[in-house]
Amino acid sequence: MKRTTYIVVAGVVLLFGLSWVLHAVSMSGEADGVARAFMITIAAFLTLAIYSFLYKDNPFYKFAEHLYVGVSAAYWMCQAFWSTIVGNLFPRLSEGLSNYFQQPYQASDWNITYWIPVILGIMLLMRLTQKYGWMSRWPLAMIVGTTAGLNFVRYLRSDFIVQVSSTFMPLLGEDPHGWQGFGAFFSNLDLSASGQLAAIVSNWVIFFGVICGIIYFYFSKEHSGAFGRASRLGIWILMITFGASFGYTVMGRISLLVGRITFLFRDWLEIIS
């Protein structure tokens, strides 16, 4: 490493220590003040380390990135172990293990078939060895088969049948804005967000929007003539969708950014209350 790098690292370590001490002093009246001060300081420095990437890739960002990978992997492993293995598997396999982990055990829950996923799981771990790596194909096949079988029915129901049936909506409005004739329609004509015109236009946009959107994705016929015009309308609907999704995503990211900035200025620097 260069001399400059050493100086920067030493500076950051010094700042970290200073921040910790200052925080510990300000929290000296609280229980676990020193430990809490350490946690706030480390969270703040890790936040800054990630933001340092905005300048360019640097060792502080790499440090935070590598730490994130390691901690996240262990976090999900522990959560999965305690919730699924201890909470779901042990009570079905062994009274002794259930008692050890203080999980409610009922003899009626005991099921020998639950050894199958355990054996398949151990076979999956064989992937880590060179000689028996092929054994991991069996549990993988089980995972693929389960996913395929479950998704076949699930997507057929929720992403196809339900979506298609929801698209067929009354084009002349529905309750509480059901069609009551031209007279009633024109006498109540306004552009209020909860009015009948908005409701009717929404139904038209959804019905024709979905059909045109699907036409755009249909590539077995040339997009020309009436079909092409419908496909063009489908592109417009999709563009509005992408724009809306983009705006929505940006707002989500901005709110996260506001959260982190608030943490830095309120919890760490204590500049705002």
Partner 1 sequence: MRQQVPLLITFIVGSLLIVSVFIPPFGDLETTFNIWFDIIAVFAFFLGGGNLLRVHINKLRKRKRDWGFSIVTIVGFSVMLIAGLFKIGNPGDIASAVDAPGSLFYDIFNSVQYPLSATMYSLLAFFVASASYRAFRAKNREATLLLIAAFIILLGRTPFGMMLTSWVPDSTSLLQIPNLAQWIMNSPNLAGQRAIMIGIGLGVISMSLRLILGIERSYLGGDK
Stretch 1-30 residues interacting with partner 1 (CB under 8 A): none
Q: Which of 87, 103, 252 lies closest to 95 in space, CA to CA?
A: 103
CB atoms within 10 A of CB 177: 20
Cα 216 from Cα 229, distance rounded (Å): 10
Q: Is 151 in the site for partner 1 (CB under 8 A)?
A: yes
Residues 222-261 interacting with partner 1 (rule: CB under 8 A): 234-251, 253-254, 256-257, 259-260
Output the smallest distance, CB 183 to partner 1, in A: 19
Output the smallest distance, CB 227 to partner 1, in A: 15
Cα 245 from Cα 237, distance rounded (Å): 12
- Residue from 116, 171, 184, 272 touching partner 1 (CB under 8 A): that is 116
Output the six-digit token pair for 244: 């809306």
Whether omega for the bond prior to residue 176 falls within 30 degrees of 0, making it cis, is yes
Cα 129 from Cα 123, distance rounded (Å): 10
Collapse the DSSP code of 172 into the 3-class scheme (helix H, G, I; strand E, B; otherwise coil) and give the result.
coil
- Residue from 150, 171, 184, 269 touching partner 1 (CB under 8 A): that is 150
Output the smallest distance, CB 15 to partner 1, in A: 17
- Residue from 76, 132, 227, 265 touching partner 1 (CB under 8 A): that is 76
User: Residues 158-177 vs partner 1: string with x where CB under 8 A?
Assistant: xxx--xx-xx----------
User: Residues 176-205 vs partner 1: string with x where CB under 8 A?
Assistant: --------------xxxxxx--x--xx--x
Q: How many residues of this chain bind partner 1 (CB under 8 A)?
A: 127
**Which of the ranges 5-13, 22-30, 131-139, 172-180 carries the binding residues for partner 1, by CB under 8 A?**
131-139
Q: Which of 86, 132, 138, 96 lies closest to 117 in space, CA to CA?
A: 138
Instruction: Classify residue 109 by its DSSP letter.
Output: G
Instruction: Classify residue 128 by its DSSP letter.
Output: G
Q: Is 127 in the site for partner 1 (CB under 8 A)?
A: yes
Side chain identity at 93, as an amino acid letter?
Answer: L
Q: Is 210 in the site for partner 1 (CB under 8 A)?
A: yes
Q: Which of 203, 154, 158 lies closest to 177 in space, CA to CA?
A: 203
Q: Is 37 in the site for partner 1 (CB under 8 A)?
A: no
Output the six-digit token pair for 25: 């002093």
- Residue from 11, 17, 121, 228 touching partner 1 (CB under 8 A): that is 121
Please check whether residue 79 is in contact with residue 96, taking contact to mean a CB–CB distance below 8 angstroms: no
Q: Which residue lies nearer to partner 1 by CB, 33 or 117?
A: 117
Q: Which residue lies nearer to partner 1 by CB, 94 or 136?
A: 136
- Tracing tokens 């009717």 back to the chain, one arrives at 200
- Residue from 6, 132, 134, 227 touching partner 1 (CB under 8 A): that is 134
Q: Which residue lies nearer to partner 1 by CB, 38 or 185?
A: 38
